[in-house]
């Protein structure tokens, strides 16, 4: 009796296993399975990460043929991942460096650039700080440690607390080259060693909000109402201008840049379809809604 019972149990288990392995008919009677979705990895710039997430959330429901994955970590992280073959799209808030292109080509990777949006770098201070405008030279002198007190730029007698993104950030590199060094490729000027390096744009905004002596910089899309944006003059003589889509497009705001994605060679297949959608009116409307400037506006 026990042997018969054991054989019955084994037979039931075998049948269950075969049923689990067999293809099942979809609800409604169809037995056709949908093809496996194509995975697209997007990694890199923390400036772009919220925009990349918004794009993915809008695109994914209408395109079940792809699985989109978005992570940040900084521009350097994204480009390194592209070179190592662990991401399909590298998001970057600075242009790829010549040494990175060489490294990629040595590994059979051809980094190819697509401009996906424009951005302004906003200079932000605490709302209680009376300063309303700064020149590029003053901002450079502050971050180089040549100006240490708000009194020297029209503020109160308070020490200046400098905030910056970490060195892996494309925004950090852009700010170093275009603001601190004022675009001089021969300059070796560096951030004052007292500058506090923070890992995220949100971290800078939070610290500026809470510290009356702080100054920081952030992509325009990350600026919140609880910080104060400073108008910037290109040379101390020209009118100081606030960052906005209009002033970026007009070329009057002096700290603006392009934002990029990099792929291995010209985009192909589902990656190309996705990038084409990013640049479409629908994708660029999301750019504007996230506080950035659409391409071609």
The model's pLDDT over 54-97, given as tens digits with 9 standing for 90+, comes to 999 999 999 999 999 999 999 999 999 999 999 999 999 999 99
pLDDT value of residue 37: 85
pLDDT tens for 131-152 read 999 999 999 999 999 999 999 9
The residue with greater pLDDT, 21 or 166, is 166
Residue written as token pair 């300059």? 187
How many distinct helices (H) and strands (E) make up the chain?
A: 10, 10
Q: How many residues does the chain have?
A: 297
Cα–Cα distance for residue pair 291/205, rounded to 1 Å: 15
The predicted pLDDT at position 221 comes to 86
Residues 62, 56: Cα–Cα separation, whole Å: 10
Region of 159 on the Ramachandran plot (φ > 0 left; ψ -120 to 50 alpha; else beta):
beta
Q: Which CATH architecture has domain 38-117+258-289?
A: 3-Layer(aba) Sandwich (3.40)
Map residue 152 onto helix, strand or coil: helix
Are the beta carbons of 181 and 148 closer than 8 angstroms? no
pLDDT value, residue 35: 61
The average confidence (pLDDT) of the chain is: 89
pLDDT bracket for residue 242 (50, 70, 90)? very high
Phi/psi at 247 (5° precision): -75, -25
Can you tell me the distance from the alpha carbon of 7 to that of 26, in angstroms, rounded to the nearest whole number?
Answer: 32
Per-residue pLDDT tens digits for 26-48: 333 333 334 678 999 999 999 99
Please give the Cα distance from 232 to 230 (Å, whole number): 6
Beta bridge partners of 174: none
The angle subtended at Cα 188 by Cα 72 and Cα 214, nearest 5°, is: 55
Task: Report the pLDDT value the prediction gives residue 150, as an integer from 0 to 100.
Answer: 98
* Mean pLDDT calculated for residue range 12-25: 36
Per-residue pLDDT at 236: 87
Contact 108, 283 (CB under 8 A): no
pLDDT at 21 > cutoff 60: no
Handedness of CA 39, 43, 48, 54 (dihedral sign): positive
- Judge whether 38-117+258-289 and 119-256 match in fold: yes
Q: Report the share of the chain in percent with pLDDT over 90.
A: 83
Could you read off the pLDDT of 162-172 as tens digits, one per residue? 999 999 899 99
Confidence of residue 9 (pLDDT cuts 50, 70, 90): very low
pLDDT at 260 over 90: yes
Residue 173 has pLDDT above 50, yes or no: yes
Distances, alpha carbon 33 to alpha carbons 20, 27, 61, 163, in Å: 15, 11, 19, 54
Q: Which residue has the tokens 């985009």?
A: 267
Q: Is the pLDDT of residue 282 over 60?
A: yes
- What is the predicted pLDDT for the residue at 13? 39
pLDDT digits (tens, 9 = 90+) for 179-214: 999 999 999 999 999 999 999 989 999 999 999 999
Q: Where are the domains of the chain?
A: 38-117+258-289, 119-256
pLDDT at position 189, please? 97
Q: What is the pLDDT of residue 210?
A: 97
Q: What topology does CATH give the domain 119-256? A: D-Maltodextrin-Binding Protein; domain 2 (3.40.190)
């Amino acid at each position: 009796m026990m042997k018969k019972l054991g054989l019955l149990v084994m037979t039931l288990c075998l049948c269950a296993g075969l049923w689990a392995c067999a293809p099942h008919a979809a609800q409604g009677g169809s037995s056709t399975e949908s093809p496996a979705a194509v995975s697209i990895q997007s990694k890199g710039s923390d400036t772009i990460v919220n925009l990349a997430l918004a794009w993915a959330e809008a695109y994914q429901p209408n395109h079940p043929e792809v699985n989109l994955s978005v992570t940040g970590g900084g521009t350097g992280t994204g480009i390194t991942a592209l070179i190592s073959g662990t991401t399909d799209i590298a998001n970057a808030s600075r242009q790829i460096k010549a040494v990175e292109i060489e490294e990629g080509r040595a590994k059979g990777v051809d980094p190819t650039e697509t401009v996906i949006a424009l951005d302004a770098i906003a200079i932000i201070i605490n709302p209680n700080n009376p300063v309303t405008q700064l020149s590029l030279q003053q901002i450079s002198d502050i971050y180089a440690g040549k100006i240490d007190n708000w009194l020297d730029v029209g503020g109160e007698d308070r020490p200046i607390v400098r905030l910056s993104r970490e060195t892996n950030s494309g925004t950090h590199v852009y700010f170093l080259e275009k603001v601190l060094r004022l675009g001089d490729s021969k300059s070796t000027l560096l951030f004052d060693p007292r500058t506090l390096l923070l890992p995220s744009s949100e971290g800078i905004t939070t610290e500026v909000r809470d510290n009356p002596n702080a100054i920081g910089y952030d992509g325009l899309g990350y600026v919140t109402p609880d910080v104060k944006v400073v108008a910037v003059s290109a040379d101390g003589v020209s009118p100081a201008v606030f960052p906005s889509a209009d002033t970026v497009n007009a070329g009057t705001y002096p700290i603006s840049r392009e934002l990029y994605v990099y792929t291995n060679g010209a985009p192909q297949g589902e990656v190309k379809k996705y990038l084409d959608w990013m640049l479409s009116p629908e994708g660029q409307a999301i750019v504007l809604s996230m506080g950035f400037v659409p391409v071609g506006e």
